[in-house]
Amino acid sequence: QAGLTQPPSVSRDLRQTATLTCSGNSNNVGKQGAAWLQQHQGHPPKLLSYRNNNRPSGISERFSASRSGNTASLTITGLQPEDEADYYCSAWDTSLNAWVFGGGTQLTVL
């Protein structure tokens, strides 16, 4: 099933800002918005934001999400070493009746 498109890797310097993107279509990101997940090696994913920019309790304000058309974005400000992880976007696809994921972006904090 067709998934969402994310850049495989992004690198930024410590304390800088990183913006990760996620491209879908009008049946998923464009209609339902996207959720963002963070996954550290060897751990299950952790929800960072849902329905574009709602943060679960306990998630830092350094993480903010947005959407423009069929593309969702996650912006991480003041990068910290612990932000180095894989980031996935996900959305329900109303045409496929399926959850679709992006391939993930590996964020490196230099």
Partner 1 sequence: QVQLVQSGTEVEKPGASVKVSCRASGYTLTGYHIHWVRQAPGQGLEWMGLISPNSGGTYYAQKFLGRVTLTRDTSINTAYMELNNLRSDDTAVYYCAREASGASDYWGQGTLVTVSS
Closest contact distance (angstroms) between CB of 66 and partner 1 is: 15
> Both tokens of residue 25?
């279509």
Q: Are the C-beta atoms of residues 69 and 30 closer than 8 Å to each other? A: yes
Q: Are the C-beta atoms of residues 77 and 17 closer than 8 Å to each other? A: yes
Point out which residues bind partner 1 (CB under 8 A).
1, 32-33, 35, 37, 44-47, 50-51, 54, 56, 86, 88, 90, 92, 96-104
Of 2 and 14, CB closest to partner 1: 2
Of 30 and 102, CB closest to partner 1: 102
